[in-house]
Every structure is written in structure tokens, then in C-alpha cells.
A = this chain, B = another copy of it.
């Protein structure tokens, strides 16, 4: 197995005369893979049933001549005009009920039979043609799935989806509680899509619709996989390019299930994030999530190669950052880095989404940085590829809960993903390795499991967590956990519902704080050196203990003295319940938790130095990444080989340049 180092290439955007220059420059940069064709439908099928694959054959062959393999994208994310002109209902309807028009991409309805027919056709033709091509090593389905459609075809498909999910219309009405506001449906046909209107929709309907939209893309992807696999051998591995932790519209665990491996598109600087670019811990969380989808190493299919932008040009990556960010992916389990994109497009909506080369095509500082890393990958890539991550800590990501919070945020300052990120951040800055797992994952490998606001809780999930604790695990649950059953109904029991026995507490009442309002909690026995009192915002569960020990209490207002954080012994394990959704408390709680679970950092390092470890063949690979603009020093616990310094031995400490990277390994 070889470490993948490549780039997304669009030969159809450039004169054929230029292709050889590009291939040569790629080869000189140490690249061994390109992704091709994922937006090239119009060039592959200029008119219906009239195919032109010659140019693609030529491009693939040229790459092969330069020792570069190919991932082919199915081009369904961006259909040609002739296709979309066949029926206006091919276009997606957005949440405001407005039908899209031609002029961009991802505008199709994934449930449209006509679109599915065209999809099957183009995918079949591609599969037949390239199944036997030795340079074609993989296939990417479509591109960045996910926008929800609210059209009438989806509405009809939703009715079928519901009819499969519920035994009867009567059962659905009961589960959704449609007696409320007289929404009792007497025919499946009457059920609406939850288009944005004057008031919130029934939460049961709205959650099911979010699930249905997710399933629609899972099904649409499966339709493509089935066609491809009729012709393509297993050596041509099938993937899709995901969008990291933050993407909210698809249950990524479901989407990953049918794929051979996961890839994703890792952008640190976006036009829509000007002035507030992604932090290392957020990117780390995304990498860990992507690794967790199939519990295996992954690729970055679009690794940022310059400022990103559509109407706006984002902030520029500074010298060293492109390489640093690529190593950040590797540090968290990437076995492939594919940059997006080779050369900045001179035309089209992404004119300012910068490639390795600028519009003018001459190699510049970004190219040279990519070349440097290409050489490093040729030196050390073989030592990295396939190495595994081992974590003592799992964080539980529930897409059902995320979908539910999209419908009811509970508090204006609460965001489920941000809450998850804030807790992850406190682990990341302590150099703790984390796995991201679904609520039904086998938790036995972990000492500590954290379930932030695990809101929608089927019985099986409650059982799964109970088993984990019973067997000796440490579990953390935070406020708004256990509130809803599978149909988004509030449980008929004191909160945290199915978790109440596990936690040894009930919520006697909850207090939703206004924006900017604060209160505080005091810990009875804080970790040495940490403050006893912490400000709290957003949300306060006022707890009543039923067996649990009180770790911290509120100190203000009418619930002063009431428990805020509790610890319960259950079976061989322990359960921490955190009655607030506020972030600063984790500065105190996370050290306490790590102590409790006996979890150690990889190395102790400054908070802005990221340290991870991957394991292969009994040796450890330590990744030390300096995200600061200044030099940083990391104290070592022993003596290691410095892989990027031609195997030099380091001991005691290592200095990291600004944006510098160091990879250490155990002495042989």
C-alpha cells in the first residue's frame, strides 16, 4: 500500500496542449493520484446518448504515463443544461418552497425518477468503459451530497418512507401526537413537507423529514454503487467526498456504510468564514469523525491548496500552512492527501477557489510547498500508510439528536455541534486522542465515553450506554440528554429519561438562560490548581440526586445550593451528569474526567501544538504540529527517531518552527 498524494484535476478546463506540462509538474511534485471528471458530464455526454470519452481516455493515459493513478468521479453533481431542460421538476425545491433554476450545481432532486434514470445511464457507461483500466483505481460518487429538497416528488417519496416506517397511519398519528392542533392525517397524501412557514412544524414530522432527506441521498448513492459494481472490480474502490463533522444534513454513518472508504473535503479558510477561520481542534474533530465513520483510515479528497472563494477571496494560507494542514489530516488518520485543485479556474463560479497554481499557471510559493511535502511523502509515506489510531476516549455523535436540534434549538445560544466542538476542544488542547462513534457503537474499547446532549434516545442506545458503564466505563452525559424518544416526543418521565437510573439524578426543573445571562457553579473539590467556581450560561438543569454524589452546585438565584454536576456509581463504572450546556466548565471538568478515567495525553505540549499518535507494526508514529506563528518546544518522554530529519535521533525536547511539523517514531 502506498501513501496517496495527489490533486483534483480538470483537464477539460484547459487546452490539451497544456496537459503534458501539468502532468510533468505533478510528477515532479511527487504525486501519484489525480481525481478526474466529477463535473464533466457535459463533456462526456454532450447530448443525450451521444458520448465523448476520448478526451478522458487521453487524460487518464497521460497521467498513467507519468505514474499517476486516477480516481474517477461520477458527474452527477452537475448535470448539463440539456438534461435539466427536460423537466422543470428536476430542480430541487428549497426549504422556503422555492424551486431552483439552472446555473450552478447540486440543484437536482435526488428522488426524481427521470434524474435517477439519467444517473444510471451515465454511471453505467463510465463503469463499462473504465472497469478494466489499470490506472483507474477508484470511483467517487457525485460530490458533497446533502441539500434537502422539499418538492412534490420528495413529498410522495416521503409518504412511502413513512408507510414503511410505521405500521399504519394511525400509529404514525399516535407517535407524532397529531391530536395537537388537529393535525390527524387520514390519508398519507395529506402529509406535507415541512416547508418553512409561520410556525414550527410537528416535531415528529420534522425529524422524520430530516431522516428521510438523509436516506434519500443514501439511497441515491446506493443506486450508483450498484450500477458501478456490476462492472467495476473490487480493486476499484468506491468513495464519496464528505464534508467533515460540521455538515448537518446527512447521517454520515449511514452514508459511509455502503462505501469502501471515506474521503472528505478539508477547508480551513472559506469565504463564508472570513475573519473566523477554522481552528486546529475543529479540523481535528472533522478528521476524527471521518475516521470514525467506518473506523478506518481515510483520505482527504479536497485538501485546501490556497485561498477559497466564490464571490469573495478568503484569507490566504501563510507559508507552511498548506503543508501543516495536510499533516494535520495525516496525524488524525489520513492515508491520502488530494489537493483541491491543481490550477485556479479562469472561468466559472469558483474563479477564486485557488489551486496549487494560480490562474496564470506558473509554479509559485504554494506549488513549492506542495513539492516539499511530496518529497517527504516519498521518503516517509510508506512508514505511515495504514497506521491505526487508538483512543481511550470516545465521543458519541447522534445525527438523530442533531436533526432534532435543527428543529428545536432549545436555547438561542445553544448549538449542538458547537457544544460538541467545545468539549472536544478541551481534549484536543490536552493532546488526548478521541474517537467519534455513533450511539450504538461498541464502547468496550474505551475508558471514557462522552455523549454531549444526547437528545433523541431509542431504548437500544440507552441499553448500549448502560452496558458500557456496567462494564466499568466512565460515561459523561450533558443537559438535554434523554429528553426525546425516537419520534421526537418528550419522554413521559423525569429527565434525563432513560438515563435517570444510570445518572442517579433527576432534573427537577430546567432554566433556559437569556442570551448573555450568566450564573455560576462551585465545585466542592476541584482539581488542584483549577478554580472552584465557574461561570455558567445557556442552560441550567436543576438536579435532584437519587444516589449520585454532587460535584458542583449552583450558587445563585432561587436554585442556589442545588446540584449542577453529579457523579454516580453504576455497576463497575461511573456516570457524570453535567447539568449545563455552557463551555467554560470543561476547563475544570475535563482534567477531572481524565484523572477519573486514567487517560493520558500523548505528550504534554503547549495548547497550540497538536500531538497525535498512529500505530503500525508495534511502532508508534508521533505527529507534533505547531499551529502557532512562533517557535514552540515540546518536552519528550524518551528518545525517538525524527522521520523528517533523515532518521536523526532526538531526545529530551524538540523545537518546532512556526507552522512546523515533526514526526517521531519509536527507535527500532
Please give the residue numbers on chain A whose beta carbons come within 8 Å of chain B beta carbons, in ascending order. Answer: 10, 12-13, 39-43, 46-47, 75, 78-82, 85, 94, 97-98, 100-107, 147, 176-187, 189-195, 197-205, 274-276, 307, 309-316, 318-319, 344-352, 358-362, 364-365, 407-412, 489-494, 508-517, 557-558
In the bound complex, residues from chain B placing their C-beta under 8 Å from that of A490 are 344-347, 351, 359
Closest chain B CB from A363 CB (angstroms): 12
Q: How far is the CB of A11 from chain B (nearest CB, A)?
A: 10
Q: Is the CB of A310 within 8 A of B184?
A: no
Whether B13 contacts A78 by the Cβ 8 Å rule is no
Q: Are A315 and B512 touching (Cβ within 8 A)?
A: yes
Per the bound structure, the CA–CA distance linking A508 and B517 in Å amounts to 47
A546 to chain B, nearest CB (A): 14
State whether B274 touches A345 (Cβ < 8 A): no
In contact, B311 and A104 (Cβ under 8 angstroms):
no
Q: Are B517 and A345 in contact (CB under 8 A)?
A: no
A217 to B274, alpha carbons, bound, how many Å? 37
Query: Among B98, B182, B314, B349, which residue has its beta carbon within 8 angstroms of that of A181?
Result: B349
Identify A102's interface contact among B192, B312, B316, B410, CB under 8 A. B192
Q: How far is the CA of A360 from the CA of B496 in the complex (A)?
A: 11
Closest Cβ of chain B: how far from A642's Cβ, in Å? Answer: 25
A562: min CB distance to chain B, Å: 12
How far, in whole Å, are A627 and B185 apart by their CA atoms in the complex? 46
Query: Could you list 21 examples of A-B contacts with CB < 8 Å?
Result: A39-B181, A39-B182, A41-B182, A78-B181, A78-B183, A79-B182, A80-B186, A97-B98, A103-B194, A105-B181, A178-B347, A180-B345, A181-B349, A199-B349, A202-B349, A307-B512, A313-B410, A313-B411, A316-B512, A346-B491, A358-B509
Q: Is the CB of A492 within 8 A of B346?
A: yes
Residues of B within 8 A of A409 (CB): 311-312
Q: In this complex, what residue of B is CB-closest to A201?
A: B103
A74 to B559, CA, bound (A): 41
A79 / chain B contacts, CB cutoff of 8 Å: 182
Known: A41-B182, A104-B201. Contact between A492 and B359, CB under 8 A?
Answer: yes
Chain B, Cβ-Cβ closest to A493: B360
Q: Among the listed B81, B200, B307, which residue makes an inter-chain contact with A310, where contact means beta carbons less than 8 Å apart?
A: B200
Tell me which residues across on chain B come within 8 A of A193, comparing CB atoms: 101
Complex Cα distance A313/B513, Å?
9
- Give 5 new A-B contacts, CB below 8 A, not counting A311-B410, A315-B513: A10-B180, A81-B185, A97-B98, A179-B347, A313-B512
Chain A contact residues, majority secondary structure: loop
State whether A100 and B198 are in contact (beta carbons under 8 Å apart), knowing that A80-B184, A179-B43, A186-B46 are contacts in the complex: yes
* Residues of chain B contacted by A12 (CB below 8 angstroms): 179
**In the bound complex, how far is the Cα of B187 from the Cα of A82, in angstroms?**
8
CB-defined contacts of A197 to chain B, threshold 8 Å = 100-101, 103-104, 107
Q: How many copies does the complex hold?
A: 3
> Is there contact, CB below 8 Å, between A103 and B202?
yes
With the chains together, A183 CA to B350 CA distance in Å?
A: 13
Smallest Cβ distance from A217 to chain B, in angstroms?
A: 16
A409 → chain B closest CB, angstroms:
6
Q: How far is the CA of A40 from the CA of B178 in the complex (A)?
A: 10
Distance A292 CA – B374 CA, assembled complex (angstroms): 56
CB-nearest residue of chain B relative to A173? B42
Q: How far is the CA of A10 from the CA of B17 in the complex (A)?
A: 67
B81-A199 in contact (CB<8A):
no
Chain B nearest Cβ from A198, distance in angstroms: 6
Which residues of chain B are near A492, meaning CB under 8 Å?
A: 346, 359-361
CA of A187 to CA of B42, assembled, Å: 13
User: With A186-B81, A512-B315 as given contacts, are A203 and B361 in contact (CB-CB < 8 Å)?
Assistant: no
Contact (A274, B515) CB under 8 Å given A80-B183, A97-B98, A177-B347: yes
A182-B75, A364-B509 are known contacts. Are A408 and B43 too (CB-CB below 8 A)?
A: no
Q: Given A80-B184, A410-B312, A205 and B103 touching (CB < 8 A)?
A: yes
Shortest C-beta distance, A35 to chain B (Å), equals 15
A200 / chain B contacts, CB cutoff of 8 Å: 104, 310-311, 349
B47 and A186 form a contact (CB under 8 A): yes
Q: How far is the CA of A659 from the CA of B261 in the complex (A)?
A: 62
CB distance from A322 to the nearest CB of B (A): 13
Q: A82 is contacted by which of B190, B194, B491 (Cβ under 8 Å)?
A: B190
Contact of A203 among B75, B147, B349 (CB under 8 A): B349
- Are B316's CB and A362's CB within 8 A? no
Complex contact A412–B82 (CB within 8 A)? no
Q: Which of B39, B203, B345, B558 contacts A348 (CB 8 A)?
A: B203
Across the interface, name the chain B residue whose C-beta is closest to A316: B511
Which B residues are CB-close (under 8 A) to A312? 408-412, 512
Q: In whole angstroms, how far apart are the Cα atoms of A493 and B360 in the complex?
A: 5
Contacts of A105 in B (CB 8 A): 181, 199
Identify the interface centre among A42, A187, A276: most chain B CB within 10 Å of its CB: A42
User: Which B residue's beta carbon lies closest to that of A193?
Assistant: B101
Determine if A348 and B181 form an interchain contact, defined as CB atoms under 8 angstroms apart. yes
Contacts of A345 in B (CB 8 A): 177, 180, 490
Q: A12-B179, A42-B184, A348-B202 are in contact. Are A274 and B514 (CB under 8 A)?
A: yes
Q: Report Cα–Cα, A349/B348, bound state, in Å.
A: 42
Chain B residues with Cβ below 8 Å from A365 are 508-509
Q: Which residues does chain B contribute within 8 Å of A364, judged by CB atoms?
A: 508-509
Contact check, A13 vs B310: say whether CB atoms are below 8 A apart: no
* Distance of A79 from chain B, by nearest CB (Å): 7
In the complex formed, the residue of B with least CB distance to A76 is B182
**Assembled-state Cα–Cα distance A189/B84 (Å):** 12
Q: How far is the CA of A490 from the CA of B343 in the complex (A)?
A: 12
Q: Assess whether A275 is in contact with B516, with CB atoms less than 8 Å apart.
A: yes
Q: Is the CB of B80 within 8 A of A351?
A: no
Residues of B within 8 A of A316 (CB): 509-512
